[in-house]
A and B are shown apart, each in its own frame.
Chain A
């Protein structure tokens, strides 16, 4: 679960304190004196943020649970696991 508006804001200002309803850019509330970021600046990086979120979601699905990955390492070895993870990362670039 990642909110692309908040992720975009944090990409511009990693210490921003902000609240958002759904993914509505018009609902942004700047908390605790955080300086507002212009909407067009947020909108400009949304495509990149969406691509990163999609990549992360797809990667997580294909990685499998951490339990199954530990089992994989035990049975197949660390190098085999690293090769599989690298191929997933390459399949879904950020």
Chain B
């Protein structure tokens, strides 16, 4: 005698699983990349410094959001870090998303919830700059990460 009964009221296909079981707020996919190399710059504008903190994600719906977490090791006299979607800075145009000053090493993280409004492959990458002196990211036997989550809209 069965102890439970499964009644299929709304899930009729794979697409049904997406809409019925993975509603708004569900995590649909996660992509990550890392970089353990020290990158340094004196650039007054945001640059990658050749870092590999770059992920490409293809949203399954234009209404979905992308939640990004960046975990970095930084050292700077007066430096700023941000995220670019393609060629677009999705942080503050001048202030980015986080900063470091006073030549103190910091292991930290910053996040961004983005609405790319596309179903095309979209690339996010960490950029940084130096308002004065030299800005460093990575190195010192540290591992840095960027992780992108697609969130159902």
Q: Are A19 and B41 in contact (CB under 8 A)?
A: yes
One digit per residue, 1 when the CB lies within 8 angstroms of any chain B CB and 0 when it does not, for chain A 29-72 equals: 10110000000000000000000000000000000000000000
Please report the total number of B residues contacting A with Cβ < 8 Å.
Answer: 20
SS class of chain B's interface: helix, strand, loop or mixed? loop
Which A residue's beta carbon lies closest to that of B76? A1
One digit per residue, 1 when the CB lies within 8 angstroms of any chain B CB and 0 when it does not, for chain A 4-24 equals: 001000100000111111100
Please report the total number of A residues contacting B with Cβ < 8 Å.
Answer: 16
| Assembly CA distance A10 to B75 (angstroms) | 18
**Residues in A neighbouring B43, C-beta threshold 8 A:** 17-19, 31-32
> Contacts A1-B136, A19-B47, A31-B47: A10 and B38 contacting too (C-beta < 8 A)?
no
| Assembly CA distance A19 to B40 (angstroms) | 6
Q: Are B38 and A31 in contact (CB under 8 A)?
A: no
The contact sample of 8 A-B pairs, CB cut-off 8 A, is: A1-B75, A1-B105, A10-B42, A18-B43, A19-B42, A19-B50, A21-B38, A31-B42
**Chain B residues engaging chain A, CB cutoff 8 angstroms:** 37-45, 47-50, 75, 103, 105, 134, 136, 139-140
